[in-house]
Amino acid sequence: MTSPPVVRKAVARVVTLGPGFGFLTVFLLVPLALVLSYTVFRRGRFGGIVYQPTGENFTRLADPLYLDVVAGSVKLAALTTALALLLGYPTAYMIARLPGRWKVIALVAVVLPFWTNFLIRTYAWIVLLNSEGLVNSGLKAVGLDPVELLYTDGAIVAGLLYAYLPLMILPLYSAIERLDPQLREASANLGARPARTFWSVTLPLSLPGVLTGCVFVFVPSLGNFVIPELLGGGRRIMVGNLIRDQFLKARDWPFGSVLALAVIAVLVLLLFAQAWASRRVGRDAS
């Protein structure tokens, strides 16, 4: 006796969706639920959790000390995102226009840094930027005075930009590659110059990739704590450092959970904004 179609469809859904949904449940939803539950309890005298409900953890977010940390983190993350867009868009545009073989080589070159350990790549910047590093050695060789590059906001931005620039290039390349070349041809046939075609056709239709790349760069830059620690020398405290310190040093798990939840909320809002903008661009294009 054969199984009814409804049963077969249900089994197929369980087989195909079950592993992925189970993975997300165990490694995403359960930890997120734990973090959410910790936000409403008090910190123990010696750290950890005391299961006494309180709203104090949320009101502490308004403390000027933490607001300064958040504002500084947003500024550096926004600057990194803007620079990544300025560098990433021309790169993605040129890759999309390359012949097939060279296009593959260029994409491999973009993702090549991910084949190296993140910490090794970060320490390489210390070798470049320290007072006796390659940059200052080059300045001395041409008769210029060395400059302080390491342990500055500029070093942090450079490290973040290097780490996350591929996350800007790849979605931009995908968005530009999908564009119908006939639209650019039609624009040229109507007398538009290449610059006008870019601003009127290419850029508006590639906005979903722009928004996706900005989210991919801004959010990890906001939460990163390794680069500010190594390249900033601990002089600049970012949200990621603050969350780490709350869990590992202050052992204030409830407040650390509130900070982590705030970063997650920013991510969710940005993803909703990106999805809404992408749908609107799609409607306008159609």
Q: What is the pLDDT of residues 22-76, one digit of tens each?
A: 888 888 889 889 889 999 999 888 777 888 888 888 998 889 989 899 999 999 9
Of the candidate ranges 5-14, 112-121, 156-165, 222-231, the one whose mean pLDDT is the lowest: 5-14
Amino acid at site 17: L
Check if the beta carbon of residue 236 is closer than 8 Å to that of residue 156: yes
Q: How many domains does the chain have?
A: 1
Label residue 114 left, alpha or beta by phi (over 0 means left) and psi (-120 to 50 means alpha). alpha
- Please check the confidence at residue 204 and state whether its pLDDT lies above 50: yes
Rounded to whole angstroms, the Cα distance separating 162 from 164 reads 6
- Which of the pair, 277 or 40, is modelled with greater confidence? 40
Q: Is residue 11 part of a domain?
A: no
- Please check the confidence at residue 81 and state whether its pLDDT lies above 90: yes
Average pLDDT over residues 207-212: 90
Q: Is residue 32 part of a domain?
A: no
- Please check the confidence at residue 2 and state whether its pLDDT lies above 60: no
Please report which residue ranges of 97-225 form alpha helices under DSSP H: 100-111, 118-129, 134-141, 153-177, 181-189, 194-197, 203-205, 207-223
Given this model, what pLDDT does residue 193 score?
A: 83
Which residues sit opposite 50 in a β-bridge?
Answer: 42
Q: Is residue 55 part of a domain?
A: no
Rounded to whole angstroms, the Cα distance separating 80 from 136 reads 23
Q: How many CB atoms lie within 10 A of CB 165?
A: 21
**Would you state the structure tokens that stand for residue 62, as one six-digit string?**
């308004």
Q: Is residue 221 part of a domain?
A: yes
Average pLDDT over residues 252-277: 88
Confidence band, pLDDT 50/70/90 cuts, at residue 194: confident
Given this model, what pLDDT does residue 72 score?
A: 92
Check if the beta carbon of residue 164 is closer than 8 Å to that of residue 217: yes
- Please check the confidence at residue 283 and state whether its pLDDT lies above 60: yes
Given this model, what pLDDT does residue 78 score?
A: 95
Q: Is residue 265 part of a domain?
A: yes
Q: Measured between alpha carbons, how far is residue 131 from residues 156, 161, 233 in Å?
A: 16, 21, 14
Check if the beta carbon of residue 260 is closer than 8 Å to that of residue 243: yes
pLDDT in tens, 113-159: 888 888 899 999 998 888 888 888 888 888 888 888 889 999 999 99
Q: Is residue 39 part of a domain?
A: no
CATH code where residue 178 lies: 1.10.3720.10
- Which range marks the domain in which residue 216 is found? 62-285
Percent of the chain with pLDDT over 70: 97
Given this model, what pLDDT does residue 3 score?
A: 57
Given this model, what pLDDT does residue 135 score?
A: 85
Q: Is residue 258 part of a domain?
A: yes
Rounded to whole angstroms, the Cα distance separating 243 from 263 reads 10
What's the mean per-residue pLDDT of the chain?
A: 87
Average pLDDT over residues 225-254: 90
Given this model, what pLDDT does residue 1 score?
A: 47
Average pLDDT over residues 219-243: 90
pLDDT in tens, 255-266: 999 999 988 888
Q: Measured between alpha carbons, how far is residue 136 from residues 23, 88, 145, 157, 231 in Å?
A: 48, 27, 8, 18, 16
Given this model, what pLDDT does residue 169 score?
A: 95
Instruction: List Cβ<8 Å contacts ≥24 apart for 117-120.
Output: 118/163, 118/226, 119/226
DSSP E strands in 23-81: the ranges are: 41-43, 49-53
- Please check the confidence at residue 191 and state whether its pLDDT lies above 60: yes
Non-local CB neighbours of 32 within 8 Å, separated by 6+ positions: 264
Q: Is residue 10 part of a domain?
A: no
